[in-house]
Structure 1
């Protein structure tokens, strides 16, 4: 391509000289001349010689130097463009008066009739547009007041419907006034009927956009109708922000959509640029004034939110933001003005778009975090039937949900930060995620999160199922063996689930778990050699569980301690004795287990009576006591008749008799206590004496006391 361009350039250099010798064809085209030169040997040789002189050596372009992509060079380029843009803007503002003077001295003096027509046409549209809008607004205000006033204190749905009707009335007012303005522009003024000027169209379109934008602000704040206001904003704040928002929207909207384009077409681009700069500076000044006026109010508001949050991490951040928010906003507004001066065509739209995207991301993040915060604060309330079946599920969910929701909140915060960075082009997160590396990392993180979530759900499900099986109020009453095994299963499943879930999650994010597994094996082996007692505890506990020696709820004697088994693990047993003391006994110290509630139980009653008591009367009394026992509610747990062996021993001072009452396992103490009390009462009624030692005084024995035994 370069050779052809050079060829044609040389051809045009040769054409003047060649035209002197080929005057016979004055109308020949360059293509014809090129063909003629190539066909003529001498001309072709001359062309080649000229090409060699014009481009000696190989006709190849020199390799271009690689562009300088250093940060210093890029910063220099950017600052140069900013300086040039600012200089052009200042020059335009400075030269606007000269251009306006020239325009008035020249063009405007010649076009006074055009200016008169423009003023008449715009005046008619202005008067008709804003006059009709004013009258329609008065009528719409009365109608809206009739709709909004009765809705005070009504439900949220009713207020939303009322707000929608009021907005429809206001929108209809704007559209009708806009349509009337078009009718006037097409049928009145100096333009032929059915035609309108471009400036009239600019005015009408600016009116529609500006008023609809102000309508959107009124929809949010509802300054005139507090009864249908959705946001919790006071009347003063609503009126304040509506006033300033309407003024800024009108200032910027009518300037950029009507005044500046009209000046560009009538006077010149410099006039339009000057007005735009002046309006932008005015808008930024108003914004700074508003920020300074509300500095303390916003700081106090953020401090109250932080106090309600208990001064947590987010609360402390809000306090810091409250102290310096006005400085950040003022810096942003000044930067916006500088960007407008430097490059209004490219930098300003980018900055405004990034700002809008950032505000949307922050609003969405605040809504999500507020919903999550209210969900956590309100807590979980399960239905009554679920609480009855699973009494521990609500507490378990309340323990897990706040942690999960905290993670969700931090994920939302990270998403907002990423969205803001993407909007301001600080990094291309979307492009990175779309790449192979980004897809791999995102997939790994999502997979790990799903594994952790599934592990949590499985833990809750299994724990709830065990809780349901152990619940004595619903379903089948679990046996002690089921209680023991289900609790052991829950503990073992939780440990295994935590280990495997952690390993799988680490594997998904790229961590090599093989060294971890090998290290766990080595550590386990070292623990096995170094902690022999622990190994002995576990092995003994496994055999105790296999042999089903004791279960939760049994009354046992283990390692010299007697009591009720409250908890069994693979390593130890927890026993509560009669005084309520808890004893944790490792299985390595257990050499014997005495279970008092396995199968059935006996209450053994042993009594001692005096030698002069009638054996048969004593035995009959013991049978009568058992008869009275069977007449009480204790008969439900007694399995057999009274086992009365009779006299079992003779002591130097008494006779000993024994009786046994067979009961359900672990139910012997209640009937036994009642039987002993009844037997004591019957002995007293029938004058059956128990042996008691008696002391007598023997005279002449030096005052010594002698024990004469009992009887």
Structure 2
């Protein structure tokens, strides 16, 4: 209870400037103009006569000091004090009116005559008869309407949302028609059966009919939203028990406040006094306050669990943390708000209460609209962007790129929506005047600048997306013309350079729109570039060398090159470096400043050099025939499309220690020489085996001494170079290279 009390004090302190800015009416309840009879009754009542005399005596002109004091704007402490005084006076008047209510009723009864009793009984009888007619007629009409609505719900059950909306609208029309029919029936009974020969209605009957129409029309709206007895037409996500629970309490509160303010209080004000009517209103509002507090306490745990659901399920964004914080203390805030509504109504019902109710409605609408937008954005973030299959086939990276950027943009939009909800609530309660500031010259300039910057960023993102998608489409070999290695290199460089240039350009324009002078930034960029040029000579050398390498078109992505002492496949080319993947899978990043020579094995065409060693006693013509035969077999395989020219037979190129080298050359497409060469070597081995051509190997000759002769006799024996066992049969020793 102490926590609730402290929260109420803080709430009253925060909202006191709003209440203090409103014109404060006098604390006395007698404000409406009274007729002659009311004035006579007022003067006849001793209590009210004394109050009027005291009020007239207190209405003295202010002194000069008081006038000077009132000319100054009151401080916050003075405003709080004045407002607290008004609350205390209103509460005191209400309590006094409730205490004097019995005495006033006794005085009225004592002054009443038999004629007054007859008139009173006749009026009450007419009101009771009218109430019974309304009750019975509305009960019968509602029974018929309920059966029709259930039939509509049964037909719309399980169907799409459009038939359900149509059925709900028809049910609304039928329900409202039942209320209007009962109201019209009551008017007819009052005019033609209870009005007497003149056909006139009493004011009490009119009050009852008007209260009935307002209360039941409000209940029609509640039934439309909650649908307590027709689940198929209910669009809100709640069970039948929950819908019936909320409709029960909401309808009771509407009936209590509606009939108390629109029927019973006017009758008491006319028949007893205005103070008694005010006491009745206070009793009704106090009862509604107690019911509201009980409802809040009953649903404290369920609402807290619902608000903490996002945080308990692993979501840790700003919205989840905010909802979890609200869920921990929502019941205290709700009770404080209801108490504040009651206190404000007591102090200033004509000005402060409409303001608070209007601000409450605007806040609820702002929250509902914001929740709908945030829910759509959150669903869009989690579901993601799904592109058609043909678009994904043409642009495989577009969906991944959208998944990388769009959720972040949506998170920014969701944050902006949250800020907008807070601003709308603050605007509704008068804490800030955002609309007035936005309409001012400064506000228009700031909002225009921010919107312009956001539009520039959005346009820049669209341009980036379009450029990247176009480059991706051109690099896709499945659509359009197949890009060459040169096109791949230039398109990749164009994508990188355009992205950097576009980012710098968009950021500069956005900063210029928000009022930042970009001239010093441009000048600073020039000075920084000059400093980098002097201080980072290696970097400048990388870029200059890279530019000339690109202009000379010496290598492209996918080429097999040797640069900077490393050989392999070019995987990536930038303006300052090249990434080479070697045969063992190692990726080498080589700056162009360290490249003094580039050897490209895939420029234009390639050659496979077939250098075959044969024995000295081999027939060279037979060797040529075998090599041509192997080439003919090669042209019968899948490698024939990679061969550009017939076999070039160069002949004997080297006399080695143990072999004669015969060389031939095959001109191939760029990059095909390695696989083609391996296949050609296999075919040569088969051809040599068929023709009996020996492929020699390194051998050594040594001499053994004859132990009987006493001298050394040369007996040549052959052995492998590794020193294996001596054998009369020659063995092969493969060299290391």
Q: Is the 8 A contact 2:195 2:201 kept in 1?
A: no
Name the SS of the counterpart of 1:350 in structure 2.
Answer: helix
Q: Is the 8 A contact 1:121 1:188 kept in 2?
A: no
Aligned to 2:493: 488
Aligned to 1:9: none
Name the SS of the counterpart of 2:596 in structure 1.
Answer: coil
Aligned to 2:505: 500
Aligned to 1:578: 583
Residues 1:340 and 2:335 aligned together: no
- Residue 649 of structure 1 is aligned with which of 646, 654, 665? 654
Aligned to 2:678: 673
Distance (Å, rounded) in 1 between the aligned partners of 2:719 and 2:176: 120
Aligned to 1:549: 554
Distance (Å, rounded) in 2 between the aligned partners of 1:184 and 1:309: 63
Q: TM-score, normalised by structure 1?
A: 0.87
Aligned to 2:330: 325
Deviation at 1:66, TM superposition (A): 5.2
Name the SS of the counterpart of 2:650 in structure 1.
Answer: strand
Aligned to 1:122: 127
Aligned to 1:29: none
Distance (Å, rounded) in 2 between the aligned partners of 1:513 and 1:393: 33
Distance (Å, rounded) in 2 between the aligned partners of 1:461 and 1:374: 26
Change (3 A) 1:555 1:701: farther
Deviation at 1:666, TM superposition (A): 1.7
Distance (Å, rounded) in 2 between the aligned partners of 1:314 and 1:328: 19
Deviation at 1:231, TM superposition (A): 1.6
Aligned to 2:294: 289
Distance (Å, rounded) in 2 between the aligned partners of 1:668 and 1:520: 49
Aligned to 1:194: 199
Distance (Å, rounded) in 2 between the aligned partners of 1:549 and 1:115: 113
Matches within 5 A, 1:553-564: 553-564=558-569
Distance (Å, rounded) in 2 between the aligned partners of 1:333 and 1:364: 23
Q: Is the 8 A contact 1:647 1:657 kept in 2?
A: yes
CA deviation vs aligned residue, 1:282-311 (integer Å, no higher than 9, x gap) = 001000001111111111222223334523
Name the SS of the counterpart of 1:645 in structure 2.
Answer: strand
- Residue 73 of structure 2 is aligned with which of 68, 71, 84? 68
CA deviation vs aligned residue, 1:242-294 (integer Å, no higher than 9, x gap) = 11011111111111122212222222211211111000000010000011111
Distance (Å, rounded) in 2 between the aligned partners of 1:601 and 1:341: 98
Q: Is the 8 A contact 1:380 1:394 kept in 2?
A: yes
Residues 1:223 and 2:231 aligned together: no
Residues 1:133 and 2:149 aligned together: no
Q: Is the 8 A contact 1:89 1:342 kept in 2?
A: no
Aligned to 2:436: 431
Distance (Å, rounded) in 1 between the aligned partners of 2:95 and 2:532: 80
Aligned to 1:353: 358
- Residue 618 of structure 1 is aligned with which of 618, 623, 627? 623
Matches within 5 A, 1:156-555: 156-308=161-313, 310-555=315-560
Distance (Å, rounded) in 2 between the aligned partners of 1:601 and 1:134: 99
Change (3 A) 1:410 1:477: same
Deviation at 1:580, TM superposition (A): 2.0
Aligned to 2:10: none
Name the SS of the counterpart of 2:221 in structure 1.
Answer: helix
Aligned residues, how many? 650
Distance (Å, rounded) in 2 between the aligned partners of 1:78 and 1:505: 49
CA deviation vs aligned residue, 1:606-641 (integer Å, no higher than 9, x gap) = 111110011111111111111111122211121111
Aligned to 1:638: 643
Deviation at 1:550, TM superposition (A): 0.9
Distance (Å, rounded) in 1 between the aligned partners of 2:358 and 2:365: 11
Change (3 A) 1:438 1:92: farther
Change (3 A) 1:343 1:654: same
CA deviation vs aligned residue, 1:354-385 (integer Å, no higher than 9, x gap) = 11110110011000000111111111111111
Q: Is the 8 A contact 1:226 1:235 kept in 2?
A: yes
Residues 1:99 and 2:101 aligned together: no
Distance (Å, rounded) in 2 between the aligned partners of 1:554 and 1:469: 19
Q: Is the 8 A contact 1:693 1:708 kept in 2?
A: no
Deviation at 1:84, TM superposition (A): 4.0
Name the SS of the counterpart of 1:693 in structure 2.
Answer: coil
Q: Is the 8 A contact 1:564 1:577 kept in 2?
A: yes
Question: What runs of 5+ residues in structure 2 fail to find an aligned partner?
Answer: 1-66, 721-729, 733-737
Deviation at 1:168, TM superposition (A): 2.2
Q: TM-score, normalised by structure 2?
A: 0.84
Question: What runs of 5+ residues in structure 1 fail to find an aligned partner?
Answer: 1-61
Distance (Å, rounded) in 1 between the aligned partners of 2:588 and 2:288: 78
Name the SS of the counterpart of 1:179 in structure 2.
Answer: helix
Distance (Å, rounded) in 2 between the aligned partners of 1:582 and 1:128: 94
Name the SS of the counterpart of 2:308 in structure 1.
Answer: helix
Distance (Å, rounded) in 1 between the aligned partners of 2:597 and 2:74: 83
Q: Is the 8 A contact 2:195 2:202 kept in 1?
A: no
Distance (Å, rounded) in 2 between the aligned partners of 1:511 and 1:103: 78
Change (3 A) 1:108 1:272: farther
Residues 1:605 and 2:622 aligned together: no
Distance (Å, rounded) in 1 between the aligned partners of 2:683 and 2:451: 73
Residues 1:693 and 2:668 aligned together: no
Change (3 A) 1:118 1:607: same
CA deviation vs aligned residue, 1:316-338 (integer Å, no higher than 9, x gap) = 22222211111111111111111
Deviation at 1:200, TM superposition (A): 1.5
Deviation at 1:138, TM superposition (A): 1.6
Q: Is the 8 A contact 2:223 2:247 kept in 1?
A: yes
Distance (Å, rounded) in 2 between the aligned partners of 1:109 and 1:331: 50
Q: Is the 8 A contact 2:454 2:510 kept in 1?
A: yes
